[in-house]
Chains A and B, each alone.
Chain A
Amino acid sequence: MLGEHAVFIIAAFAASVVVLGLLTLWTVLDGRAVRRRLAELEARGIRRRSAGGDAS
């Protein structure tokens, strides 16, 4: 289906899936970690003086 150079085509798409997948995963996990630490501090009563529920 992809001809004699299939291995190069598959490798190019696989590399793209891996790199963009890892970038997305890192972005999501990093965001969750920061939100979790913020929630922990807020639970201890430490919050921004100007906080108005915007840290969604």
Chain B
Amino acid sequence: MALMDLANPTRFLALSGRVLPWLSGTAIVIVAVGLVLAFRAPADYQQGETVRIMYIHVPFAWLAMLGYTLLALSSLGILVWRHPLADVAHKTMAPIGACFAFLCLVTGSLWGRPMWGTYWVWDARLTSMLVLLLLYLGLLALRSAIEDPNQAGRAAAVLSLVGFINVPIVKFSVDWWNTLHQPASVFRMGGSTIDPSMLWPLMICAIGFTLVMFALHMAAMRTEILRRRLRVLEARAAAEAAYA
């Protein structure tokens, strides 16, 4: 079966209906295992027990960026191929990505207060992540402000592509500017600087939360496809009632 065949909404509903229960169950199990390992991992020599926050904060930051990257890719699907499933994927990813960006900022602030002595600084990493959250919120506002769904989808796709410039800024802000936020310690040239006793729980948490995001996205996409069908049927019902 070709990839484009899978991008058919009806096929997507059938396939995702079979995959979603397994995906959700696997996500819950992996997150649970990851969190147990996170609390059994040794305390950090500098951060102490506060390092536990990193096992959720870091995956949330990665997922906020991954979510926006997926938004940008689906924007290409909307603008170049005008594929309806790309619009469905785009619309449903925005609130999920916004939640992860919000949680990244909240958990980061709660880590920053005991470690840096402040909840917030206008540091390049923190500020660019705040901009990412505002971009997500802007996309949600833009969609709800434009009545025509096709026009709203295209406008949101353009904003997503323009805003994508912020994703590498978030990632490399700690290298490009002198920031209070520590530099990359997992995905970096020369390998991770984290001890395996902490790296493994972190990676398991990251995989688990990634599956949570995909499961939520898949469920939201299924609902959005059905909502669009419902809209068509309601319009037909209203037309039939008018002629009756």
A interface vs B, CB < 8 Å? 1-6, 8-9, 11-13, 15-16, 19-20, 23-24, 27-28, 30-31, 34-35, 37-38, 41, 44, 46-48, 50, 52, 54-56
User: How many Å from the CB of A20 to the closest CB on chain B?
Assistant: 7
Query: In the complex, A18 Cα to B63 Cα: how many Å?
Result: 17
Contact A19/B99 with A5-B49, A9-B50, A37-B230 known, Cβ cut-off 8 Å? yes
Scoring A11, A20, A47 by chain B CB atoms within 10 A of each residue's CB, the highest score goes to A20
Q: Which residues of A contact B49 (CB under 8 A)?
A: 1-3, 5-6, 9
Is B190 close to A, CB under 8 A? Answer: no
Within 8 A of A (CB), among B1-31: 10, 13-14, 17
B107 contact from A4, A5, A15, A48, Cβ within 8 A: A15
B interface vs A, CB < 8 Å? 10, 13-14, 17, 43, 48-50, 52-53, 56-57, 60, 95-96, 99, 102-103, 106-107, 110-111, 113-114, 212, 216, 219-220, 222-223, 226-227, 229-230, 232-234, 236-237, 240
| Interface class of chain B by DSSP | helix
User: How many Å from the CB of B103 to the closest CB on chain A?
Assistant: 5
Q: Are B223 and A41 in contact (CB under 8 A)?
A: no
Q: Are A46 and B236 in contact (CB under 8 A)?
A: yes
